[in-house]
Amino acid sequence: MKKRILCITLAVTIIGLLLFSFAAVQISYDSSIENAKSYLKVYVGLFDDGYSFDNEGAAAFSQKLDGARVTLMDSSGNVIGESEQVEEIEINHADRPEVESAKSGGSGFAVRKSATLGKNMAYYCKSMQFGETVILVRVAIATASEWAMFVDVLPTIAVFLAIDVVACMIAAYVGTFLILRPVEKMAKEATLGKEVSTNYREIQSLAAILNERNRSLAFQMSELQNEKELVIKTKKSKDELISNITHEMNTPLTSIKGYAELLESGSLTPEQTALAYKTIYSQSERLTNLIASIINYNEIDSDDLPPYDVDFSSIVKETIAVVLPEAEKAEVTIVDCVESGVIVSGRHERLSELAGNLIRNAVRYNKRGGTVTVKLNEQLFSVEDTGIGIAEENMDKIFSRFFTVDKSHSGKNGGFGLGLAVCKRICNKAGWTIGVQSRLGEGSTFTVNFNKPRS
């Protein structure tokens, strides 16, 4: 960058300097010619008939003019006197431009290289009348050519060029430093992810571009970070799921294997044999339930079936009817506070599962003589019980997969800790919120809020 600026500055100033020199030489040349013309006019004006109209007269007049060349011609341009002692003097000069002008208009001026003397000369010729005789008097003095003048000033130009190169190097260095300083500051700010700012109007658009780039980069980075976290979370959750499933399967499988080995050994009494068959059957059933629960849980998310308007009141009332025998057996009373005609958007089987899980849990984790109050209106569905309650530290875990407060009861009555996780998934998918309020030993209330705007 610095090199390029230096080269450009140098090229511009060198070209400028040369152009300036040519112009100066031209002006000075023009002025010297004008000077010569004025001198020559005065010189010619000094001629009079005191000089003879021949070589001697020309030489005498030349002497008076400090050696300027004098040529005397008759009115036709025939040379009659010449001050220069040249070997070949042309007889007639009528074709010379200054002579031609003098013949027609009284005087003429011309500058050219003399064919006779081989030098650059300025000529002034005037037609003068002495009595009957017309004489063309021409005086010439040597002038420097443009090229000679340029060659004369070349050493001066060379000195200026040297000074120019040094000045350019300093200017390029300082200029580049001053130009690049705000840009470098901006680059530094952009690299550090700071807001890029500048007082220079010319590069404010660059600052805006850098800021925009930085913002979009930061956004992309955070997206990447989120994706990375999601991948880690998904992997962790998958690992946990596999570990939970293997753990849940392990107990029934060990039991089945143990009883099968005993049966194979043939050492069991008929009563023990009957118990072994019963256990193998119940544990197989437990395994089947577990697999069915897992498949059902996974299906909720992959299920793309569209929702439709469902009469949730009917579903809840049907569920209460189904759970009633179990409640009676547990000596739990179900209080029905279900408003009729509550329509929600969903799928019948999923809503039935939601109501079933909450009401069944309220009966299952209740006390003898306890009650379960089921409420449903346009805004919410809640199931309140007077059961064992949930400890504070378990409140936010109960909606996680495979979480059961009492591990010793896990798997009994199909309870693998998936019921509430299923409820949460169903609610999430519908855009509803599910929460719980509970006091250990006093009871719990599970509430599903439909998040409907109140009319």
Binding residues for ligand ADP, per CB under 6 A?
357, 361-362, 365, 385, 387-390, 398, 403-406, 415-421, 444
CB of 406 to ligand ADP, least distance (A): 6
Q: In the bound complex, which residue of the shown chain has the CB atom lying closest to ligand ADP?
A: 419
CB of 395 to ligand ADP, least distance (A): 10
CB of 281 to ligand ADP, least distance (A): 21
Nearer to ligand ADP, 238 or 439 (CB): 439
- Cα(327)–Cα(374) distance, rounded to whole angstroms? 13
Nearer to ligand ADP, 198 or 437 (CB): 437
CB of 294 to ligand ADP, least distance (A): 12
Q: How far apart are the two ends of the chain, measured CA to CA in Å?
A: 70
CB of 386 to ligand ADP, least distance (A): 10
Nearer to ligand ADP, 57 or 415 (CB): 415
CB of 191 to ligand ADP, least distance (A): 51
Instruction: Compute φ and ψ for 74, nearest 5 degrees.
Output: -80, 180
DSSP H helix total and E strand total for the chain:
9, 12
CB of 349 to ligand ADP, least distance (A): 17
Nearer to ligand ADP, 96 or 360 (CB): 360
- Residue matched to tokens 């979009």: 216
Order of strands across the sheet that contains 107-113: 79-82, 69-74, 133-142, 120-130, 107-113
Parallel/antiparallel/unpaired status of strands 333-338 and 371-376 = parallel
Nearer to ligand ADP, 210 or 327 (CB): 327
β partners of residue 449:
380, 433
Nearer to ligand ADP, 190 or 383 (CB): 383
CB of 230 to ligand ADP, least distance (A): 24
CB of 327 to ligand ADP, least distance (A): 13
Q: Pseudo-torsion of CA 110, 112, 115, 117, nearest 10°?
A: 100
Nearer to ligand ADP, 49 or 331 (CB): 331
Nearer to ligand ADP, 207 or 418 (CB): 418
Which two three-digit tokens encode residue 426? 């169903």
Nearer to ligand ADP, 93 or 360 (CB): 360
Which three-class secondary structure state does DSSP give residue 106? coil
CB of 339 to ligand ADP, least distance (A): 22
Confirm if 72 and 56 have CB atoms less than 8 A apart. Answer: no
Handedness of CA 397, 402, 408, 410 (dihedral sign): positive
Which two three-digit tokens encode residue 71? 């040529």
The separation between CA 376 and the C-alpha centre of its own chain, rounded to angstroms, equals 54
DSSP letters for 205-264: HHHHHHHHHHHHHHHHHHHHHHHHHHHHHHHHHHHHHHHHHHHHHHHHHHHHHHHHHHHH
- Residue matched to tokens 């591990």: 407
Confirm if 363 and 323 have CB atoms less than 8 A apart. Answer: yes
For residue 143, what is the enclosing H or E element?
Answer: none
CB of 301 to ligand ADP, least distance (A): 17
Tell the burial category of 71 from Cβ atoms under 10 Å away from its Cβ (0-12, 13-18, 19+): buried
Nearer to ligand ADP, 390 or 427 (CB): 390
Nearer to ligand ADP, 71 or 357 (CB): 357
Confirm if 99 and 125 have CB atoms less than 8 A apart. Answer: yes
Instruction: Compute φ and ψ for 373, nearest 5 degrees.
Output: -110, 120
Confirm if 198 and 207 have CB atoms less than 8 A apart. Answer: yes
Nearer to ligand ADP, 43 or 403 (CB): 403
Of 137, 84, 136, 135, the closest CA to residue 114 belongs to 84
CB of 212 to ligand ADP, least distance (A): 49
